[in-house]
Chain A
Amino acid sequence: MTTLEAVATYLPATRTPIADLAEVLGLTPMQVTLFDRFNGLRDVGWDNEASLLDLLVAATERLTALRGNEHRVRYVLHARAFAVVVPFAHNPLHELTHRLGLGHAEAFTVTQQSCATGLLAIDIAGRLLAADGDSEALALVLAGEKAFTRDSRLLPETSVFSEGASACLVAANGPRDRLLSYASLPRGDFDSDDAAEVAARFQRDYRGCLSAVMEAATAQAGLRMEDITLVLPHNVNMVSWRRVCKRMNFPVARVFLDNVARAGHVFCADAFINYQSAREQGMLRPGDRYLIAAAGAGFGATFSAMVFEH
């Protein structure tokens, strides 16, 4: 049974008001206002001095459970929304493994489910570990990216990406945070030359797709939504979660939205950032069943949900 052993995250200390980035992002004053008032996004964390490697190193340095357990790490997975983020053949992931003393581990990037790739990486890590049958073995799942270009900075009318990173140790049979189910809904039909048509269709279908995948993950776990004590969302914005909750008749108070404004939408790392915050705030009690939800959009979209028992 796949379990989460430990999670650490890094967020840049400096926040930049979205209003100050209006020209870079190509936003009108009205769009800046809408991001603030409706989407709950006032600023972003962009660390202009840090490389992708720096972000990942910062997260792993905070992962104290890794110290002394490097020899147990068999896999290192970078869950990334964007497949191509450095010139060929630069390889920050393998630079990181050598820096951390993990040169013995198999390291690869899993990608192309946009920001839903983080949940996929947990599922993959669990399957690799289960197949090996070594109860001591661990996988290190990393997430985090640079907002380096237009496509990785802005989801029009939806969100502005923030930088940051997460590092999560996954085990095949650990004592806490057992994975109960994983559901994924690919919508590759959102990949089209007609951006306006896709945007309209995405806005129309978004709530229904996310609701359906959350309910599917819950049902796969043998549960109902009322059994879910907490939803850890992707931090895309506030308004979409209120609408999803309304559609599902699920109390928005049980969706952890504190980090939408505080951390912003940090690519695939949202799930781990929210998990860490929820634990620090005592919002997860032993036996709680909680759900992590993610939606990745860009060219195509993937909606995903996982149910865990804390």
Chain B
Amino acid sequence: MTDTEFETEQRSRIHALAPPAGTAGALYLNRTARRVFDQDCEFLRTPRNRSNIDVYLTDMLQPYDLRPDADRLAAGTGQSYGEMALALIGDTVDEPVDLLVLAFAVPDVWPGRATATYLSAVCPGQPMAFAICDQGSAAAFTGLRLVREYVVSGACRRALLVVVEQATLHYPSSGSAPVPDRHAGVALLCTNEPGAAVSRRWDPVRISTAVTPEQAPAVLATRVAEQRGPLTLVAGAGLDPATLPDTVPVRTAPAGQPYTGAWWELSGMLDASGAVMLADYDPVLGYLCTAYCGVE
């Protein structure tokens, strides 16, 4: 291959974007998939990989006077977001997508991997891909928000949001942020035009900051009240069920899925539901997030 031929081939893979210049469209929810991963990942079955992860974790933990849990690492417990997302891509994507956003709170068992970039190579369309983290349960909402901004601004047409959580830390957890009970993931394929039998359109995601646990019920009640028409509230694990609004039907996230729970529930109810408001609260970081998906 000549230099010119090589660069021509590379150019076909490049995502060239103009700066945002207003909104030109809408974002629709086209398809979803959800999976629980009962098995541990393939990646940690390889002794060399476990050894590399031990080195990484040992160095990362040293300033915190922590050590990796050698037994747990030797057992190869935990899941890889690359393996989980690969399965979810297979469940949702059959046409090229332009953008892939991976959202997570709990670290991957392969901490140094640029997983989103890897996924760009295995996802149809070789999308621009990146990850959002360090925001607790709000990371998935930020991911959806970014998907929406890239699509409605015309930068992308089809985008995949992948929300994942895995349940194993190879060292003692610190702080009060919850660790999941199981490995789970949800994928949402979103497009700039309705493609499903029922046309489901996302409103702008709303993220409130510095919300105290005492304030969260009232903030959520206001969000629900502001929305005209009937809806089902899908409440994530960070919201206290006893404080949820009683003015609308409510579905709560399954136990043990603090970061994917609301998205899991959404994925399971789409066929039979009308408008949905997705909501979650991160009591550690103070984010209260809502995303309204209406039916046209």
Q: Chain A contacts of B64 at CB under 8 A?
A: 86-87, 90
Q: By the criterion CB–CB under 8 Å, are A186 and B134 in contact?
A: no
Q: By the criterion CB–CB under 8 Å, are A113 and B116 in contact?
A: yes
B150 within 8 A of A: yes
Q: By the criterion CB–CB under 8 Å, are A219 and B16 in contact?
A: yes
Q: By the criterion CB–CB under 8 Å, are B3 and A188 in contact?
A: no
Q: By the criterion CB–CB under 8 Å, are A208 and B134 in contact?
A: no
Stretch at the interface among A36-44, A76-84, A233-241, A275-283: A76-84
A196 within 8 A of B: no
Q: Chain B contacts of A217 at CB under 8 A?
A: 16
**Which residues 1-32 of A have a CB within 8 angstroms of B?**
1-2
Q: Chain A contacts of B142 at CB under 8 A?
A: 106, 108
A114 within 8 A of B: yes
For chain B, the count of residues having a C-beta within 8 Å of the partner chain is 78
Write 25 A-B pairs (CB below 8 A) sorted by A numbering.
A82-B112, A83-B131, A84-B111, A84-B112, A86-B60, A91-B134, A104-B210, A106-B287, A108-B135, A112-B102, A113-B129, A124-B146, A130-B149, A131-B149, A150-B59, A181-B17, A184-B15, A188-B114, A188-B121, A296-B114, A296-B117, A298-B114, A299-B118, A300-B113, A300-B120
Q: How far is the CA of A127 from the CA of B19 in the complex (A)?
A: 8
Q: By the criterion CB–CB under 8 Å, are B210 and A212 in contact?
A: no
- Within the complex, the shortest CB–CB distance from A219 to chain B, in Å, comes to 7
**Cβ-closest 5 pairs across A and B:** A188-B121, A84-B111, A300-B117, A89-B177, A149-B59
- Chain B positions within 8 Å of A, measured between CB atoms, are 3, 6-7, 10-11, 13-23, 55-56, 59-61, 63-64, 66, 102, 105-108, 111-122, 126-136, 138-139, 142, 145-146, 149-150, 152-153, 155, 169, 171, 173-177, 179, 204, 207, 209-210, 284-287
For chain A, the count of residues having a C-beta within 8 Å of the partner chain is 73
User: Given A93, A183, A191, A215, which contacts B118 in the complex, CB threshold below 8 Å?
Assistant: A191
- Within the complex, the shortest CB–CB distance from A209 to chain B, in Å, comes to 6
Q: By the criterion CB–CB under 8 Å, are B130 and A216 in contact?
A: no
Q: How far is the CA of A106 from the CA of B207 in the complex (A)?
A: 8
Given contacts A108-B135, A180-B19, A182-B17, contact A300 B285 (CB under 8 A): no
Q: By the criterion CB–CB under 8 Å, are B139 and A108 in contact?
A: yes
- Within the complex, the shortest CB–CB distance from B63 to chain A, in Å, comes to 7
Q: By the criterion CB–CB under 8 Å, are A179 and B19 in contact?
A: yes
- Within the complex, the shortest CB–CB distance from B113 to chain A, in Å, comes to 5
20 further A-B contacts with Cβ under 8 Å, apart from A103-B286, A113-B114, A191-B114, are: A2-B19, A84-B111, A91-B285, A94-B134, A94-B285, A105-B209, A111-B116, A112-B102, A112-B116, A130-B149, A185-B15, A186-B13, A186-B117, A188-B118, A205-B6, A213-B14, A219-B16, A247-B3, A299-B117, A302-B117
Nearest residue (CB) in B for A189 is B121
User: Given B112, B113, B209, which contacts A106 in the complex, CB threshold below 8 Å?
Assistant: B209
User: Given B122, B126, B210, which contacts A103 in the complex, CB threshold below 8 Å?
Assistant: B210
- Within the complex, the shortest CB–CB distance from B61 to chain A, in Å, comes to 6
Nearest residue (CB) in A for B103 is A108
Q: Chain A contacts of B13 at CB under 8 A?
A: 185-187
Given contacts A103-B210, A124-B146, A217-B16, contact A112 B173 (CB under 8 A): no
Number of A-B residue pairs at CB separation under 8 A: 241
Nearest residue (CB) in A for B17 is A182
Given contacts A151-B112, A183-B14, contact A87 B121 (CB under 8 A): no
- Within the complex, the shortest CB–CB distance from B27 to chain A, in Å, comes to 12
Given contacts A84-B60, A127-B153, contact A110 B130 (CB under 8 A): yes
Most chain B Cβ neighbours within 10 Å, of A111, A114, A205: A111
A274 within 8 A of B: no
Q: How far is the CA of A42 from the CA of B131 in the complex (A)?
A: 33
Nearest residue (CB) in A for B139 is A108
Q: Chain A contacts of B169 at CB under 8 A?
A: 88
Q: By the criterion CB–CB under 8 Å, are B114 and A300 in contact?
A: yes
Q: By the criterion CB–CB under 8 Å, are B63 and A51 in contact?
A: yes
Nearest residue (CB) in A for B116 is A112
- Within the complex, the shortest CB–CB distance from A192 to chain B, in Å, comes to 9
Most chain B Cβ neighbours within 10 Å, of A93, A112, A247: A112
Q: Chain B contacts of A220 at CB under 8 A?
A: 16-18
Q: How far is the CA of A242 from the CA of B175 in the complex (A)?
A: 48
A229 within 8 A of B: no
Nearest residue (CB) in B for A301 is B117
Q: By the criterion CB–CB under 8 Å, are A89 and B174 in contact?
A: yes
Q: How far is the CA of A299 from the CA of B59 in the complex (A)?
A: 19
Nearest residue (CB) in B for A222 is B18
Q: By the criterion CB–CB under 8 Å, are B173 and A299 in contact?
A: no
Q: By the criterion CB–CB under 8 Å, are B127 and A186 in contact?
A: yes
Q: Chain A contacts of B106 at CB under 8 A?
A: 88
